[in-house]
Structure 1
Amino acid sequence: MLDCKDDILFFTKQLVNVESIVNTNGEKEIASVLYTLISSFPYFTNNPSHVLKVETKNDPHERYNVLAFVKGTKGTSNKTVILMGHMDTVGVDDFNQLKDKACNPDEIVEEFKKETLPQALREHVDSEEWMFGRGILDMKSGLASHLYLLKYYSEHPEELEGNLVLVSECDEEDGSHGILSALDELKKWKEEHDFEYVAAINADFVSPRYEGDDNRYIYKGTTGKLLPSFFITGAETHVGSCFEGLDPNFIAAELTRQIDYNPDLCNEALGEITVPPVSLKQTDLKPSYTVQTALSAYVYYNFFIFSWSPKEVLEKLKEQAYIAFENSLHLFKERYKKFSELSGEPYREVTWTPRVMTYEEMHELLVNEHGTAYVSHMKDFKENLLLDESLDTRMYAARVVEEAWKWMIDKNPAIILFYSSLYSPRIELSGETEQERNLIEALDYAVGKIQPSYQHPIAIRNFFPYISDMSFVALSDDEKGIQAVSNNNPGWGTKHYVNYQDIRDINVPVINIGPYGIDAHKKYERMEKTFSLEVVPNLTNEVIKKLLT
């Protein structure tokens, strides 16, 4: 067993002390701190080309990744394990008046001791076993564990058969520009040093899955995340003649009722199941107040997947949207008839019918109807829209669909389905390949070796339940699945682009062995020391040794 607790605690505090909120200059600062620290290790002083600080590509923000590697001298193997973890954190606004202490674990816990707290939280605040602070759980203690192992093997390369690569990436909490840029360096090193990447080990946080859950989880593979989005058009009318039009917000509300928390949209795989989709935004696109109903509405939903492809998700949601449209029209007619009976005004037959199409289907229709005039207009529109820096990828996509809709000849109410943000691919580690089987065997071996000396059960599950950069080192989707993403994202190639071939070129099985704690992304974010600072690095080390022998 490695005696590593004090060293990892020291690294953890160093990293937490740097406020590295995503999309701020703090990401630049922590990259510089980490690069300077690694460069100070004697191995890297003697081998300065083995550590890099590299700026991200195609990124609106200036920020950097830090990558380093140690070549083992125990044998001649080219087998290489990638250790990965992110440096950025979410913001600190939730700390309110304590924001200036959020990144100081020693100071923030003293402030918490002054507060009136629930009993369980009070016990953690008063305990020496827990540490608090922004990023301490998500995931700087995990990164510190990886940093320790890099330093250890840089001092003991004779114990390392094969090679160890550290990737410390930025921007995990937003757009994953960090890991997507780091793929280039990993590919270069693969060619220059003949690295044979056999596995990646992420160190993102793990938490109880339910109240009273005593397990400490290790995850094979990860959930995928999509952001299915819906542009909904109605029929505009004056609110005084409301039944002469169709409010798109009315359809949107029914769509959310149909999709939100719907167990039929949970994806089961390998005996595990995703949580159902839930709305992340619902709005109309009226720029200001008028007494007319909106022309269009916009909604999007979080959608987790284990085994479904992006193409299958579109097919399933197209069905759900049709049901919602049908239900909303039925309810509209029912209420219109009742109003007519109450008011004595005549009821006119409602002629609208449900109409749902994907963005790809609408785009193909418009190309067929208008040809190069439409294509040229949309190209110019998208380029000019990029000048509006207030638009994120999601709102940018909505505006593109809104503009394309203006070219539709048939403007009867419709729902247009598309993707408006980054697809974080699912990774299924099922043992189909030799690399996957070796990694699963190494993980089982490591847990079997460490478990007897640790009091809480260490449980292995198949899918990391949160979004992480694990999604960008392997790809379970085929080409058709990825095309469904690119063909149905209106911002693809302008506001948003991912070279999924870079991921295929690395395509290494990945697991997550990370720190244990509670309340990540919240004010009382905290990390349990024993598992995080002792068990995690030793588990990781046993996996490394097993894989490289």
Structure 2
Amino acid sequence: MKTVRDGCDSCSAALLNNEESELSDAHKQIKVMSYQELELYVREKHSNEWIDAKINQISTHLTWDKREQSIRITEMLLNSCPEIGPVAVCFFAPPYYPAVNSSEDPLVKKIISRLKNDATVHPDRKLKHRHFFNGISDLSYVVQAKSEDNAEFISKNMPVWKRGYSIPFEDISQLKAPVLNMGSFGKDPHLRSERLHKQSAFIETPKLIRTVIDEIINSSKGDDD
């Protein structure tokens, strides 16, 4: 939320310095709230029955996906207490992919070391270890995020949580599987111009995958010994 606060503070400062603006100083101050804070505030002003009925009505609307429903629920709460504004509300909308990291896992560290130092795997390319993938991956669902507070924070700040969408955090915590994301080099993902580098996709990446499999097998043999 810090990034949102910094942006709203900049906007507020610009509005306060604008002498031609007809807004009062109070309306030039843009507040920042989490969805949890917004819902708690509105529940103090309106009955739980009324709020729950409104949320259920929106979350079961068949022509809106869960992202649209999240926006509509937040708008409904804001409209029910207009005195809150101007305000920016931060919330999570599905699909949510928890940020996970296995960089300190012994097996993952061993594999990364082998990949980086084995010149036969990638003789013409230097590999770089990045701790996080700048995208989305199903690997987010096989290892628990480090902070145990993540699950509660996400659930409290997702308008459609348990209303057609949820994340099985308890099941994920039981897996505890180390993750390592590899793939071929390409450009423009999800665009019409999306393409793969053939050398990377069909020659280099298969070698990387084979090396990883070999290392896992060798490590499992060592554990058996």
> What TM-score do you get using the length of structure 1 for normalisation?
0.36
The within-5 A match list for 1:137-536 is: 314=1, 316-317=2-3, 319-320=5-6, 322-331=8-17, 333-336=18-21, 350-352=25-27, 354=29, 355-370=31-46, 373=47, 375-408=48-81, 410-431=83-104, 436-451=105-120, 454-536=123-205
Distance 1:350 1:543 in 2: 61
> What does the per-residue CA deviation read over 1:258-294, in whole Å, with 9 as the maximum and x for residues that have no partner?
xxxxxxxxxxxxxxxxxxxxxxxxxxxxxxxxxxxxx
Structure 1 residue 352, shift from structure 2 partner: 3.1
1:128 is aligned to: none
In the alignment, structure 1 segments of 5+ residues that lack a partner are: 1-313, 338-347
Letter in 1 for 2:12: E
Q: Aligned to 1:511, what secondary structure does the other structure show? A: coil
Please state which structure has a larger fraction of its residues in helix: 2
Distance 1:477 1:335, change over 3 A: farther
The residue type equivalent to 1:365 in the other structure is Y
Extract structure 1 runs of 4+ deviating beyond 4 A. Answer: 348-351
Superposed, 1:1-20 pairs within 5 Å as: none
**Offset of 1:323 from its aligned partner?**
0.4
Unmatched segments (≥5 aa) in structure 2: 219-225
- From the CA coordinates, give the structure whose radius of gyration is larger: 1
Task: Please give the TM-score of this superposition, normalised by the length of structure 2.
Answer: 0.80
Task: Tell me by how many angstroms 1:351 deviates.
Answer: 4.2
Shift of 1:388: 2.6
Q: CA deviation at 1:441?
A: 0.7
Q: Secondary structure at the match of 1:391?
A: coil
Per-residue deviation, 1:490:
1.2
The residue that corresponds to 1:17 in the other structure is none
Distance 1:461 1:515 in 2: 15
Counterpart secondary structure, 1:367: helix
**Equivalent-residue separation in structure 1 for 2:39 and 2:24 (angstroms):** 31
Counterpart check, 1:548 vs 2:217: yes
- Larger strand fraction of residues: 1
When residues 420 and 325 of structure 1 are mapped into structure 2, their CA distance, relative to the original with a 3 A threshold, is farther
Residue 352 of structure 1 aligns to which amino acid in structure 2?
H
The CA deviation at 1:412 is 4.8
* C-alpha contact (below 8 Å) 1:450/1:539 kept by paired residues: no
Contact 2:43 2:51 in 1 (8 A): no
Give the share of equivalent positions with the same residue, in percent. 21
C-alpha contact 1:419 1:485 (8 A) present in aligned 2: yes
- Rounded to whole Å, the distance in 1 between the matches of 2:126 and 2:84 is 59
- Equivalents in 2 of 1:409, 1:523: separation in Å? 43
**CA separation of 1:544/1:369 partners in 2, compared to 1, >3 Å: closer, same or farther?**
same
| Equivalent residues of 1:424, 1:471 under 8 A apart | yes
CA shift, 1:396, in A, is 0.9
Q: CA deviation at 1:453?
A: 6.2
CA RMSD of aligned residues (A): 2.8
Distance 2:85 2:194 in 1: 50
Q: Is the 8 A contact 1:321 1:415 kept in 2?
A: no
For each residue in 1:339-369, what CA deviation from the matched residue of structure 2 results, as whole angstroms up to 9, or x when unmatched?
xxxxxxxxx9644362332221122223233
Structure 1 residue 469 displacement after superposition: 1.7
Q: Which whole-Å CA distance do the structure 2 matches of 1:449 and 1:376 have between them?
A: 63
Question: 1:521/1:356 Cα in 2 relative to 1: closer, same or farther (>3 Å)?
Answer: closer
* Cα distance in 1 for residues equivalent to 2:130 and 2:183: 13
Residues 11-52 of structure 1: per-residue CA shift (max 9 Å, x gap): xxxxxxxxxxxxxxxxxxxxxxxxxxxxxxxxxxxxxxxxxx
**C-alpha distance 415-462 of structure 1, shift in aligned 2 (>3 A):** closer
Distance 1:467 1:386, change over 3 A: same
Question: Per-residue deviation at 1:322?
Answer: 4.3
Go from structure 1 to structure 2 and tell me whether the alpha carbon gap of 1:425 and 1:459 turns closer, same or farther (over 3 Å shift).
Answer: same
